[in-house]
Chain A
Amino acid sequence: MSKQAQHWEKTRNLLFVTLAIWFVFSIGIFFFATEMNASGIKPFGYPLTYWFTCQGSLGIFVILIFWFAGRQEKIDEEFGFTEREDD
């Protein structure tokens, strides 16, 4: 397999992992909204579902994007596809 094909395969796998995490916190958990709110888990004292919609999911997305960017940079570096800084 060429260097480029390998790079793309790794990139695609990273995409799948990123989208899986994204799916859980943007769609998955809201199938169980009633159950989550009824559960005794209370981050900062807020009802669980309420907390996810106010802060939880939102904050996780911010962290997820920075994590994704970091991982993608590592992949690019590994295959020597990093851009020159003077660009």
Chain B
Amino acid sequence: MIKGKFIDNLPKVYGIYTGGFLGFIILMAIAEQAGMSAKMIGIFFVAFTVLIYALIGYLSRTLQVDAYYVAGRQVPTVFNGMATAADWMSGASFVAMAGGIYFKGYGYMALLVGWTGGYVLVASLLAPYLRKFGCYTVPDFIGTRYGGNMARLSAVIVLTVASFTYVTAQINATGTIASVALDIPFNIAVYVGLASILMCSMLGGMRAVTWTQVAQYIVLIIAYLIPVFWISNKIGAGFFPHFMLADEVARIAELENQFGLGTIKNSAADLATVPKGLAGITKAHSDVNTTPWKFISLAVCMMAGTASLPHVMMRYFTTPSVKAARRSVGWSLFFIFLLYSSAPMLATLSKLSLMDPNLSTGIIGKSIADVQAIDWYQNWNQANLMFVSDFNGNGTLELNEFFMGGKAVVLATPEVAGLPYVISGLVAAGGMAAAMSTADGLVLAISNALSHDIYYKMINPKAETAKRLIVARVLLVIIGFAGATIAALEIQGILGSVIWAFDFAMSGLFFPLVLGVWWKRANAQGAVAGMLLGLISGSAYLIWVRNGGAGFWGVTQLTFGIVGSLVSLVSMIVVSLITKAPDSATQKMVDEVRVPSGKTVLGKQH
């Protein structure tokens, strides 16, 4: 059935894979009708998909350096787009985003704009030039462009801080999903998640991660879109929700008024009885509910962070050409757009299903006792994701008496809307795919920087290929375990640490990367100052604000990257200008990076 080279057969291979996955969903649906328990369906979905990824990881094993670091630079444009989309869309995007929109409305949607707008910066400022450079890792670019171990080391430090903050959140998410789907305690599930992540990346490095990420994208997008379309059709909102939910959005605004949103407030004593992590609807669904600066500053941080996060950037090192890298950014954003534009629709459908008394699923306005008797309410109440309480003692559920966890919007809505359980199993598999694919990219980004930039370039430049790859794999396992151990402590919520990661990356790397291509005069001293002072000032601001500091300019702990990156920019320019200009060899190197044709700056094997 498959002849010739693997790369030439990609559409066929993934076509068969997608068909097989759809067949598996249908098989599970039949099994559900035949009486298979919900728990078994969940286990089958997660176990089956994870085993497939592990198999792909095993088949992609390699002993070559350029295959391990950059997938042999032969990943076609569209497939790299899918892999980047999976790499990008984390457990937070999949599980928490629709919930954030549901609860916080407009103020939260700055993340949607930021996490997509950043790709314009990636495409126009960085990706094609770094591809031309021919580096293996992001610090590899910094180290070679500016010269000197100090610049390389600084880049590795920033990369590690940002990516490690991010990866603990992802391992946490795999643990959460594995513990729900497989019904095991969280602190064990974290290591099950870790084992799945390592199986995908350890033997084949970037090559294995690329082909599992494509497979994971297919699973996660199917798992996200099916419920959105199904619910929309089921409640008669329109067969293509994205273009047809205007009436529903207007209806939610009407119901918000009717139920007294914003006028009826809960007392602090009442709120104290609500379990931690759950929230009620307090913000209007489609109104502008925040100041322009709050919205814009958050969006700016997410955009600059996108362009500085190494696990995304390194995906564009794997394309066959500079031209392909540029187009690949477009495809990445297209595949991301498919999910991001669906998240607000899911939030709308979820809210309407719960709120509208005209729908059979609506619970607001029903008697509290009736709501407490509903099956799905009991399930999700037990999972600590839903809660009702009769604050005013009238026996009827009011809008301000219903509380839900952010994750429930994605995880529970299919069940609330009366979809068969097979869809909930599918959603669990999708969430697992999203969290795993991002964790894989991040763990690989960190361990590659440590093995290539610290070990090979700084400690032992004479190391043979076999030794380099062993070091890379050992580091991968160590980073993974460190991440899982911290994830098991559950210090910070999933979304909070994700946003921090963007701010860290932006503080330390954005300007040193951009100016490396766009400003010839930038030199090593300037870059080191930019990276270190940016990271330090950003972190200091975060610590200050977290410990009750007042902050300035309205910069919060979610947007501290603004402070960090400004310090980085100023110090980089000042220090560059008061020290010697880069030598002519470096200037020539920058000229070469700016021309797409010709050989890469760094050799094919380095």
B303 at the A/B interface (Cβ < 8 Å)? yes
B330 touches A76 (CB 8 A): no
B468 at the A/B interface (Cβ < 8 Å)? no
Chain A residues contacting B117 (CB-CB under 8 Å) are 22, 25-26, 57, 61
Assuming the contacts A4-B591, A27-B299, A50-B249, asked whether A19 and B124 have C-beta atoms less than 8 A apart, the reply is yes
Q: Which of B309-341 contact A (CB under 8 A)?
A: 320-323, 326-327, 329-330, 333-334, 337, 340-341
B246 at the A/B interface (Cβ < 8 Å)? yes
Residue count of chain B within 8 Å CB distance of chain A: 52
Chain A residues contacting B344 (CB-CB under 8 Å) are 53-54
Interface centre among B112, B113, B243, B321 (most CB of A within 10 A): B113
B109 at the A/B interface (Cβ < 8 Å)? yes
Assuming the contacts A66-B327, A72-B326, asked whether A61 and B116 have C-beta atoms less than 8 A apart, the reply is yes
A42 touches B595 (CB 8 A): no
Chain A residues contacting B334 (CB-CB under 8 Å) are 62
A24-40 CB contact bits vs B (8 Å, 1 = yes)? Answer: 01110011111001000
Q: In the complex the two chains form, what is the Cα distance from A80 to B334 in whole Å? A: 29
Chain A residues contacting B327 (CB-CB under 8 Å) are 66, 69
Chain A residues contacting B329 (CB-CB under 8 Å) are 65, 69
B65 at the A/B interface (Cβ < 8 Å)? no
Q: In the complex the two chains form, what is the Cα distance from A82 to B295 in whole Å? A: 40
Instruction: Kindly identify which residue among B110, B113, B247 contacts A45, using a CB–CB cutoff of 8 Å.
Output: B247
Q: Which of A37-51 contact B (CB under 8 A)?
A: 37, 42, 44-47, 49-50
B597 at the A/B interface (Cβ < 8 Å)? yes
Q: In the complex the two chains form, what is the Cα distance from A31 to B597 in whole Å? A: 41
Chain A residues contacting B321 (CB-CB under 8 Å) are 83, 87
Is the interface on chain A under 10, 10 to 19, 20 to 34, or 35 or more residues? Answer: 35 or more
A62 touches B106 (CB 8 A): no
Q: In the complex the two chains form, what is the Cα distance from A32 to B591 in whole Å? A: 41
B365 at the A/B interface (Cβ < 8 Å)? no
Which of B285-293, B369-377, B546-554 lies on the face that meets chain A?
A: B285-293
Chain A residues contacting B595 (CB-CB under 8 Å) are 4, 7, 81
Q: Which of B192-251 contact A (CB under 8 A)?
A: 242-247, 249-250
B120 at the A/B interface (Cβ < 8 Å)? yes
A55 touches B113 (CB 8 A): no
Q: In the complex the two chains form, what is the Cα distance from A32 to B288 in whole Å? A: 10
Q: Which residue of B lies closest to A16 (CB)?
A: B124
Distance (whole angstroms) from the CB of A3 to the closest CB of chain B: 10
B296-308 CB contact bits vs A (8 Å, 1 = yes)? Answer: 1001100100000
B87-126 CB contact bits vs A (8 Å, 1 = yes)? Answer: 0000000000000000000100110111011011101110
Q: Which of B119-153 contact A (CB under 8 A)?
A: 119-121, 123-125, 128
A50 touches B596 (CB 8 A): no
Q: In the complex the two chains form, what is the Cα distance from A50 to B287 in whole Å? A: 7
B39 at the A/B interface (Cβ < 8 Å)? no
Chain B residues contacting A80 (CB-CB under 8 Å) are 597
Assuming the contacts A37-B287, A65-B329, asked whether A53 and B112 have C-beta atoms less than 8 A apart, the reply is yes
Assuming the contacts A4-B595, A68-B124, asked whether A58 and B299 have C-beta atoms less than 8 A apart, the reply is no
B247 touches A8 (CB 8 A): no
Distance (whole angstroms) from the CB of B306 to the closest CB of chain A: 11
Q: In the complex the two chains form, what is the Cα distance from A15 to B123 in whole Å? A: 10
B330 touches A83 (CB 8 A): no
B594 at the A/B interface (Cβ < 8 Å)? yes
A26 touches B113 (CB 8 A): yes
B424-445 CB contact bits vs A (8 Å, 1 = yes)? Answer: 0000000000000000000000
Q: In the complex the two chains form, what is the Cα distance from A49 to B285 in whole Å? A: 12
A59 touches B341 (CB 8 A): yes
A68 touches B123 (CB 8 A): yes
A55 touches B303 (CB 8 A): no
Instruction: Kindly identify which residue among A15, A46, A58, A83 contacts B597, using a CB–CB cutoff of 8 Å.
Output: A83
Interface centre among A55, A59, A62 (most CB of B within 10 A): A62
Q: Which residue of B lies closest to A37 (CB)?
A: B288
A11 touches B594 (CB 8 A): yes
Assuming the contacts A19-B124, A59-B337, A83-B596, asked whether A69 and B299 have C-beta atoms less than 8 A apart, the reply is no
A62 touches B333 (CB 8 A): yes
B288 touches A61 (CB 8 A): no
B123 touches A65 (CB 8 A): yes
Q: In the complex the two chains form, what is the Cα distance from A53 to B113 in whole Å? A: 6
Instruction: Kindly identify which residue among A8, A15, A83, A87 contacts B125, using a CB–CB cutoff of 8 Å.
Output: A15
Q: Which residue of A lies closest to B105 (CB)?
A: A50
Chain A residues contacting B597 (CB-CB under 8 Å) are 76, 80-84
Distance (whole angstroms) from the CB of B288 to the closest CB of chain A: 4
Instruction: Kindly identify which residue among A7, A19, A31, A52 contacts B292, using a CB–CB cutoff of 8 Å.
Output: A31
Give 8 pairs: A residue, B residue, CB < 8 Å, sorted on A: A15-B124, A26-B114, A30-B295, A57-B113, A69-B329, A69-B330, A81-B597, A82-B323
Which 8 pairs between the two chains have the least Cβ-Cβ distance?
A45-B246, A26-B117, A53-B109, A65-B330, A69-B326, A54-B344, A50-B286, A22-B120
B interface, CB within 8 angstroms of A:
106, 109-110, 112-114, 116-117, 119-121, 123-125, 128, 242-247, 249-250, 286-288, 292, 295-296, 299-300, 303, 320-323, 326-327, 329-330, 333-334, 337, 340-341, 344-345, 591, 594-597
Known A61-B333, A83-B321; 16 more pairs at CB < 8 Å: A22-B117, A26-B114, A31-B292, A37-B288, A44-B243, A44-B244, A45-B250, A46-B246, A49-B106, A53-B109, A61-B337, A62-B333, A64-B120, A65-B329, A68-B123, A76-B323
A interface, CB within 8 angstroms of B:
4, 7-8, 11, 14-15, 18-19, 22, 25-27, 30-34, 37, 42, 44-47, 49-50, 52-55, 57-59, 61-62, 64-66, 68-69, 72-73, 76, 80-84, 87
